[in-house]
Structure 1
Amino acid sequence: MYLSEDWNQKVKKTFNATSKEEVLTVSEAGALFGLTKDQMKIYVDKHKLTKVPILRSVHRYLLLKSEIDAILANR
């Protein structure tokens, strides 16, 4: 049986392979905070976190792992 990889995970893997910055998907970051994907999107906007844009997608983005780790460390 063929299992396709989640599109966000595929983009994240490609980005991490070609960049010095590690990134997380919105869902992954939300899970670390105990938030849903939609709640995390609101959190990102409210706290003006860096959104790493994904080419060819206006509404999708990745988040910098370093920013998420810093926020979690200060909790």
Structure 2
Amino acid sequence: MQAFEDWNQKAKKTFNATSTEEVLTLTEAGSLLGLSKDQMKIYVDKHGLTKMPIKRSVHRYLLLKSEIDRIVG
């Protein structure tokens, strides 16, 4: 039996395997900043963070880990 893999985690794994930039999901980035996923979406738009779009999905995107590290640090 195949283990369930969250769609966002699967997209992140695929993206990281083919890119030199490491990315985080909204949930992961939000947890680093102490925000919920919905609060993180607002934070991204308010602060103009880079959104890495996921193909075939208008509303899903990944965030650059380097930008989140800069904010946390």
TM-score normalized by the length of structure 1:
0.94
User: What percent identity do the matched residue pairs reach?
Assistant: 78
Aligned length: 73
TM-score normalized by the length of structure 2:
0.96
- Give the letter for the 2:61 counterpart: Y
**Pairing 1:23–2:17 present:** no
* Runs of 4+ with >6 A deviation: none
Q: What are the superposed Cα offsets for residues 13-59 of structure 1, whole Å, 9 maximum, x if unpaired?
A: 00001000000000000000010000000000000000000000000
Q: Which residue does 1:47 correspond to in 2?
A: 47
What stretches of structure 1 of length at least 5 have no aligned partner? none
Q: Which residue does 1:6 correspond to in 2?
A: 6
Q: CA RMSD in A?
A: 0.9
1:21 alignment partner, SS class: coil
Q: CA deviation at 1:2?
A: 4.1
- For the residues of structure 2 that align with 1:63 and 1:69, how far apart are their CA atoms? 11
Q: CA deviation at 1:3?
A: 2.7
